[in-house]
Amino acid sequence: MKIGNFPEIVNDNAARIVAGFVLALILLTIYTESYIPLIFLTYGFLARVLYGPRFEPFAIITLNWVIPTFDVGDKPFPGPPKRFAQMIGLIFAGTSLILFFLGKTTEWKIVLVVLSVFASLESFLGFCAGCFVFNQLMKIGIIPASVCERCNQMQAKI
């Protein structure tokens, strides 16, 4: 099995639903002040960064139950910007987890509140902040255009 097998094209509708699950898990973590949901949150981002939806419970539920049950449909979107966004989420969730275990209660909650803003934007408005940053980094040449040829074709959608 190849590590890092993220799909080239993802379903943007599925990403929005998964972001809603992420938001719910963030709120549960803050409310319960427990590290258990925080570990699941961090694992989810790590799994999505490495393999996309293949081993991530929220993505599996979304793709196998939510989308077919509610006939949500497929909205193709380039994978690399979504992977970049998941990496940013992993950094936030991982930072929060470290701060939690360091006993920095206010700090880990602030990090999760910021992450909840981005998850809300994705889930409710369809605005992926990580995708926006990825696009800007491509425009100024920090991320080479070859990283995402599909992005060049779908520039207006990112």
Is 70 exceeded by the pLDDT of residue 119?
A: yes
pLDDT at 151: 83
Structure tokens at 84: 């970049």
Separation CA 48–CA 57 (nearest Å): 10
User: What's this model's pTM, rounded to 2 decimal places?
Assistant: 0.93
| Other beta carbons within 10 Å of 117 | 13
Q: Which amino acid is at 36?
A: I
- DSSP code for 147: G
- The per-residue DSSP string of 90-101 comes to HHHHHHHHHHHH
Structure tokens at 23: 């938001």
Q: What is the pLDDT of residues 1-49, one digit of tens each?
A: 456 788 999 999 999 999 999 999 999 999 999 999 999 999 999 999 9
For the chain, give the percent of residues with pLDDT over 70: 95
